[in-house]
Amino acid sequence: MKLNRRDFSRLSAMTALAGALPNLDAQTGGEISQRKFRWCIVALGRISMGHFMPAVELSKTGKITALVSGHREKAEKQAAMYNVPSPSIYGYDNFDDIAQNKDIDAVYIALPNSMHAEYTIRAAKAGKHVLCEKPMATSVADCKAMIEACRKHNVKLMIAYRCQYNPVHLKAIELIRSGQIGQVQVIESGFGFPIQAGEWRLNKKMAGGGPLMDVGVYSLNACRYLTGEEPGDIKANSSVIDHDGRFNEVEENDGWTMKFPSGILASCNTTYGGDTGGGGFFKVHGSKGWIAMEPAFPYQGKLLTAHLAGGQDLNMPEPDKDPWDFVRQADHLAECVWENHEAKTPGEEGLRDLTYMSQIYVAAGLKGL
């Protein structure tokens, strides 16, 4: 989604997130100042330029004050759009200089998966809070190192699980927790798309793996927050069907099952070769009804439907559009810093998912993470 500054102003006036600014600034220990929460964007790609940066402009808390890119000309164009001063444009070679920039509170890391750990750790050493895209890293060891670095340098680490902040996903959780479909029995979920040749996600070193690392994590994470439980007894398979050169390094398809402590069974699949409806899905079958979301994971257009225990049918479209998932994330980290509390999706959440993804790969006969 591309918005000009006039669009930003109009949308900001028309739409605002509920709730007031937090009362305390944890960094100063006094009344919160009126200044914005200041973001440094690390990597100028599709997700940052098309979604997160417009979201910061729409947010109630944020402002973009620095950029990190290997392409100076691209960075200068973005800097002009967001009024970022030229000295606050960094390359990867002088990234550590952000430590001296007092106009940066946090970094948003939208680099390829294999670079998440390095730049999270360097940001922590620079004294900056971190919002890191998922998957958190490409190894369990890297996840642990990221958590330790942020703990050591007393900065917040949040992983960008945007669906956990989305109103229709939160409604699905509320319906399940309140017993509206009885006891959950089984869950189905899938997410995938036909990937184009040449994508960095097909490079094993950069991505860490195939579709499981990219879009399969949505189904895995959804099963966890929908049940409120941690899975065990994981069984899995992977395959390559299209031998056209795209999948020389990573798998094309992954399918896995999980059993949760309560006995709930989950069956999930993810693919780089097929289409799961343009945004993935999940369906939760309970003893007295069901809940479904399709599409479940796109940036906008999610739709929650349900048949509830009392016989009522629910049809709940997502109430807002892209980039509001990203707005909620940006505001959440700002409030966590100002109020000095842990993020809803901290580094430990990313570590848990990567641990399970490693188990899925091992169960499928592939190398773990």
Please, which residues bridge with residue 107 across strands? 40, 130
Please, which residues bridge with residue 313 across strands? 307
* Residue at 154 is within a domain: yes
Name the residue among 155, 50, 40 with its Cα closest to residue 87. 40
pTM (two decimals): 0.89
Domain containing 15: what range? 5-162+324-346
Name the residue among 275, 133, 323, 134 with its Cα closest to residue 213. 134
CA of residue 348 relative to chain centroid, distance? 14
Catalytic positions are 134, 218
Q: Are both 156 and 182 inside the same structural domain?
A: no
CATH of the domain at 125: 3.40.50.720
CA distance 237 to 268: 11
Rg (CA), the chain: 21
Q: Are both 142 and 199 inside the same structural domain?
A: no
By the 8 A CB rule, do 147 and 348 touch? yes
* Residue at 368 is within a domain: no
Number of folded domains that form the chain: 2
Tens-place pLDDT, residues 128-163: 999 999 999 999 999 999 999 999 999 999 999 999
CA distance 238 to 251: 7
* Residue at 353 is within a domain: no
Residue carrying the six token digits 């729409």: 58
* Residue at 231 is within a domain: yes
CATH of the domain at 264: 3.30.360.10
Q: What is the pLDDT along the chain (369 residues), one digit of tens a residue?
A: 444 433 433 333 333 333 333 333 333 333 344 689 999 999 999 999 999 999 999 999 999 999 999 999 999 999 999 999 999 999 999 999 999 999 999 999 999 999 999 999 999 999 999 999 999 999 999 999 999 999 999 999 999 999 999 999 999 999 999 999 999 999 999 999 999 999 999 999 999 999 999 999 999 999 999 999 999 899 999 999 999 999 999 999 999 999 999 999 999 999 999 987 679 999 999 999 999 999 999 999 999 999 999 899 999 999 999 999 999 999 999 999 999 999 999 999 999 999 999 999 999 999 989
